[in-house]
């Protein structure tokens, strides 16, 4: 055991497993040790950064042996970027660990009787699968570990890329990102080149001096492209850049800019200005079109979202005389997707703008058997509401990572639908909620779905059937 700074370097540690959140696990002196960028079978030295009573955290400083599971990462930014942390694992192994994560969490947390968990549905595309990315401007790029270790002096250079994990004021310059298809990389690189050549000041992330803040690129399965330029203040120079984007990338169907003078990067509370084209792009799924505006939520892996929703629809097994409630409906994607099977679909979502999008999506597709309501689900899902809209035969849940509010679970138990389909991006909170629903429902089907290759994230769909 060596020592470097406050905490020791622990030598010759064998990585044993992968934990939730994608961290690698080892055991040292009966304590769990968490680290990153290692795979089971690696033998490494780890610099400890955090000591707790029951566990340790640290990062790898040396590899003694590489695991036979390991594969060569394909991205030059691996190890610096916070995304795609499992590139060093073959995709088949990633799927095994995600399957295990779902089974472990349902078993350990839910503690309910489970059927055999179906094999995980992998993503056909493991690169260039995302439809939305956000990049940040910085007046000074973050240096790589190799550059720092070289001891050479580097002049400050502007960057357009991603934040270093855990460092809000540090951005590394992205050369090529394997997450989003073209023209995403070309648009980002061209914007940076134009901004540098025309002396547009990149943001200082600490002082907030500078005009160039962010650029968001959305691509759709239909070929539509949306670009959102976020600046501190608009000027003729910014207008010149927007005209450049419009002319250089004529496939851009929707071009916005927004002035953001706040400390944070969120733009949902700001007014966006349409500079060119339509104020939306179109996604399509089984002939159903979905309008996606600059603030709209849409599953970031369009093709795999289709596979996910097909599973949810199959599990729901909706009859033409049944009422369906789609809770946490967002922009009504699932509600509109299953509407053809149902008598009536009710969608509820707390974000009013999303509900307006959901209504529009029904309208443009000629879907007339949906109703959408904005508000807190636990407040809306009352006896009077269900009497008016019809008691649900099927409830579909697709909550955020925090899971379903206990009051909503109580309301569902009171409503007593025949079937509940629970779509989750966090199997741990899903398992917690299933334990509560177990008093009235049994789990009959479980289907994990991989939406985000090379990350630890996994979606899971569970069918719960009312107990006799």
**Burial class, 465, CB count within 10 angstroms (exposed 0-12 / middle 13-18 / buried 19+):** middle
Query: Taking a C-beta distance cutoff of 8 angstroms, is the pair 461, 447 a contact?
Result: yes
User: Which residues make Cβ contacts (< 8 Å) with residue 116, sequence separation at least 6?
Assistant: none
What phi, psi does 442 have (nearest 5°)?
Answer: -115, 145
Tokens of 97: 């660990």
Alpha carbons 386 and 364: distance in angstroms, whole number:
27
Alpha carbons 73 and 83: distance in angstroms, whole number:
12
User: Which residues make Cβ contacts (< 8 Å) with residue 106, sequence separation at least 6?
Assistant: 112, 114, 117, 427, 430, 431, 434, 443, 446, 462
**Burial class, 401, CB count within 10 angstroms (exposed 0-12 / middle 13-18 / buried 19+):** exposed
Please choose, from the candidates 71, 68, 101, 189, the residue with its C-alpha nearest in 3D space to the C-alpha of residue 452: 101
User: Which residues make Cβ contacts (< 8 Å) with residue 229, sequence separation at least 6?
Assistant: 191, 214, 215, 238, 241, 242, 245, 255, 256, 257, 258
Tokens of 292: 């996606």
Query: Taking a C-beta distance cutoff of 8 angstroms, is the pair 39, 67 a contact?
Result: yes
Active site residue 425: yes
Pairing of strands 394-397, 323-327: parallel
Q: Which phi-psi region, left, alpha or beta, contains residue 37 (left: φ > 0; alpha: ψ -120 to 50)? A: left
Tokens of 93: 């192994």
With H, G, I as helix, E, B as strand and everything else as coil, classify residue 249.
coil
Q: Residue 24: in which H helix or E strand, if any?
A: strand 24-28
Length of the chain in residues, anyone? 468
Each residue of 274-287: b (16+ CB within 10 Å) or e?
ebbbeebbbbebee
Residue 435 CA neighbour count, 13 Å, CB half: 14
Residues taking part in catalysis? 425
């Amino acid at each position: 055991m060596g020592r470097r700074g406050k905490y020791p370097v622990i030598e010759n540690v064998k990585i044993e497993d992968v934990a939730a959140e994608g961290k690698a696990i080892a055991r040292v002196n009966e304590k769990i040790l968490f680290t990153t960028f290692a795979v089971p079978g690696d033998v490494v030295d780890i610099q400890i950064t955090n000591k707790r009573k029951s566990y340790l955290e640290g990062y790898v400083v040396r590899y003694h042996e590489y695991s036979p599971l390991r594969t060569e990462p394909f991205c030059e930014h691996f190890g610096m970027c916070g995304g795609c942390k499992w590139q060093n694992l073959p995709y088949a192994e990633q799927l095994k660990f995600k399957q295990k994560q779902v089974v472990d969490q349902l078993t350990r947390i839910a503690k309910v009787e489970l059927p055999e968990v179906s094999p995980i549905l992998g993503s056909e595309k493991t690169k260039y699968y995302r439809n939305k990315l956000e990049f940040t401007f910085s007046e000074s790029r973050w240096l790589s570990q190799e550059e720092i270790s070289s001891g050479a002096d580097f002049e400050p250079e502007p960057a357009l890329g991603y934040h270093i994990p855990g460092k809000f004021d540090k951005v590394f310059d992205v050369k090529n990102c394997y997450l989003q298809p073209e023209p995403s990389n070309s648009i980002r690189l061209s914007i940076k080149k134009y901004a540098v050549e025309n002396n547009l000041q990149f943001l200082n992330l600490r002082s907030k001096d500078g005009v160039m803040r962010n650029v968001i690129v959305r691509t759709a399965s239909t070929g539509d492209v949306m670009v959102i330029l976020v600046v501190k203040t608009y000027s003729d120079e910014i207008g010149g850049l927007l005209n450049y984007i419009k002319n250089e990338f004529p496939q851009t169907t929707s071009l916005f800019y927004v002035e953001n003078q706040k400390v944070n990067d969120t733009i949902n509370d700001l007014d966006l200005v349409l500079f060119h084209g339509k104020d939306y792009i179109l996604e399509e799924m089984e002939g159903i079109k979905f309008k996606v505006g600059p603030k709209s939520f849409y599953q970031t892996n369009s093709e795999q979202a289709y596979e996910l929703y097909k599973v949810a629809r199959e599990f729901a097994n909706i009859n033409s005389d049944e009422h369906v409630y789609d809770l946490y409906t967002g922009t009504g994607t699932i509600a509109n997707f299953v509407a053809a099977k149902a008598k009536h679909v009710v969608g509820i979502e707390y974000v009013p703008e999303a509900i307006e999008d959901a209504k529009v999506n029904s309208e443009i597709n000629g879907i007339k058997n949906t109703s959408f309501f904005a508000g807190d689900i636990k407040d809306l899902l009352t006896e009077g509401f269900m009497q008016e809209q019809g008691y649900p035969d099927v409830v579909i849940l697709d909550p955020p990572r925090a899971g379903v509010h206990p009051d909503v679970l109580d309301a569902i138990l009171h409503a007593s639908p025949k079937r509940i389909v629970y779509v989750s991006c966090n199997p741990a909170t899903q398992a917690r909620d299933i334990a509560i629903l177990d008093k009235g429902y049994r789990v009959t089907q479980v289907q994990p779905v991989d939406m985000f290759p090379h990350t630890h994230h996994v979606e899971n769909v569970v069918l719960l059937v009312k107990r006799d």
